[in-house]
Amino acid sequence: MKVVILLGAPGSGKGTTAERIRDAAHLIHISTGDMLRESVKKGTAVGREAETYMKRGALVPDSVIIKLVEARLDDGGVEDAYLFDGFPRTIPQAELLEKSLARRQGRIAQVLFLDAPRKVLIERLTGRRTCRKCGTNFHIKNIPPKKEGVCDTCGGELYQRPDDHEETIVRRLDVYNNETEGLISRYDKQGLLVRVDSSQEASKLASDVQRVLGTAAVKDGKR
């Protein structure tokens, strides 16, 4: 089992990049945010608990997240390769992931740090529109849908996520600085981190990420 992690602040382009590269890179996309939104939509016990945190822009407790991810990995095979988007987000989550992978003879192949200035993050988050049905992300200026309010991929309705309103955005960026940023040095020390300039537009960012992953694949082959 192999894992590639997209690490970065809200608005850094993790979800959009994952959507664009997952098929070509043969990676199974796991977005804990999407999984949680799905649970909220279905009204499950996990969804009801998670919603109270998500609304405020706070992190959902590590124990809930780990159970979700473990259940998903249990469904997969040992040969699977995953693209994590939005996980891990805390040091305890990173530690639990390492333990979980060790049990499955898995490893983290690479961590891509999507780096963009705060101004860019806020502009992206306030303009983001998401498909209610399939979760594809758009942006009112940068990635407009062909028809306003309608998803290009599935025809679903586009909406503004409740946590993409300005007050909650500031909270989420602070949470990122306090809880998630520490993972950058952790993965750097492990020799896994590659920084990518994520202030560039979506298609350039996706091709940069693909290039980095291509290099990793060559390295893997030589090992």
Helix 91-103 crosses helix 62-75 at what angle (to 10 degrees)? 30
Cα separation, 38 vs 41, in Å, equals 5
User: Position of tokens 């945190």?
Assistant: 53
Per-residue binder mask for ligand AMP (CB under 6 A), 159-188, x = binder: ----x--------x----------------
Residue facing ligand AMP at closest CB distance: 33
Catalytic status, residue 22: no
DSSP state of 162: G
Is residue 92 near ligand AMP by the rule CB under 6 A? no
Helix 45-56 crosses helix 166-175 at what angle (to 10 degrees)? 100
Please say which residue, 43 or 77, places its beta carbon nearer to ligand AMP.
43
Is residue 53 near ligand AMP by the rule CB under 6 A? yes
Catalytic status, residue 211: no
Q: Which phi and psi (to 5°) does residue 190 adopt? A: -80, 0
Asked whether the beta carbons of 208 and 197 are under 8 A apart, the reply is: yes
Is residue 96 near ligand AMP by the rule CB under 6 A? no
Catalytic status, residue 41: no
Cα separation, 188 vs 135, in Å, equals 31
Is residue 87 near ligand AMP by the rule CB under 6 A? yes
Is residue 65 near ligand AMP by the rule CB under 6 A? yes
> What are the C-alpha distances in Å from 36 to residues 40, 70, 78, 80, 180?
6, 14, 25, 22, 18
In the complex, the smallest distance separating the C-beta of residue 17 from ligand AMP, rounded to whole angstroms, is: 13
Residues that bind ligand AMP (CB under 6 A): 10, 32-33, 36, 53-54, 57-60, 65, 86-87, 89, 93, 163, 172
Residues designated catalytic: 14, 89, 128, 161, 172
